[in-house]
Amino acid sequence: MMEFLETVLTAKYNYWIYIILMMIGIWAMIAKVNLIKKIIGMNIFQTAIILFYVSIGAKKGGTIPILEHAPGHGHDYIMDADKYINPLPHVLMLTAIVVSVATLGVALALALKVYREHQTLDEDEILSHLSE
């Protein structure tokens, strides 16, 4: 039992925070009535997924993925792949961050358009305004 807690709860705590943040994000997208709050929830969801992917690449005792020079000669590199953190999820998540700010811009522009049309950001008021 203690071994189970050790391996599942403490050793993988990043993944538990990732699940909690994802649930916070999807709760905000569903339950919040304000459109700006929904957009913040969407962004929290996206950063939670990015946290998950960076957690996959992390390694205990590994250094950042930049090649180190060997002592003595200028062009010899230390090439032990197991000493470096896996950089592939980092590169993918770099693209995901830029895409997330693009979706944020589009979502805020749409929210501005909705506000100009209905003079409110409240979802219930917009729905009642539409059904009139």
Partner 1 sequence: MIWQIDTAMLLLVVVVAIASLQVKDLLGAGILFGAYSFMMCVLWTVMGAVDVAFTEATVGAGVSTVLFIAAVFRTSRRTKD
Cα–Cα distance measured from residue 112 to residue 129, given in angstroms and rounded to the nearest whole number: 16
Structure tokens at 51: 């946290």
Taking CB under 8 A as the criterion, the residue among 1, 2, 64, 67 binding partner 1 is 64
Residue 13: exposure state from Cβ atoms within 10 A (0-12, 13-18, ≥19): exposed
23-42 residues in contact with partner 1 (CB under 8 A) are: 24-25, 28, 32-34, 36-37, 40-41
* Least gap, CB of 72 to partner 1 (angstroms): 27
Which residue has 């649930």 as its token pair?
Answer: 23
What is the Cα–Cα distance from 4 to 123, expressed in whole angstroms?
Answer: 45
Neighbours of 1 (CB within 10 A): 5
- C-beta of 79 vs 102, nearer to partner 1: 102
Q: Which span (1-9, 11-19, 72-80) binds partner 1, by CB under 8 A?
A: 11-19
- 105 binds partner 1 per the rule CB under 8 A: yes
Q: What does the alpha-carbon distance between residue 105 and residue 119 come to, in Å, rounded to a whole number?
A: 20
Q: Which residues bind partner 1 (CB under 8 A)?
A: 13-14, 17, 20-21, 24-25, 28, 32-34, 36-37, 40-41, 43-44, 47, 50-51, 54-55, 57-60, 62-65, 85, 89-91, 93-94, 97-98, 100-101, 104-105, 108, 111-112, 115, 120-122
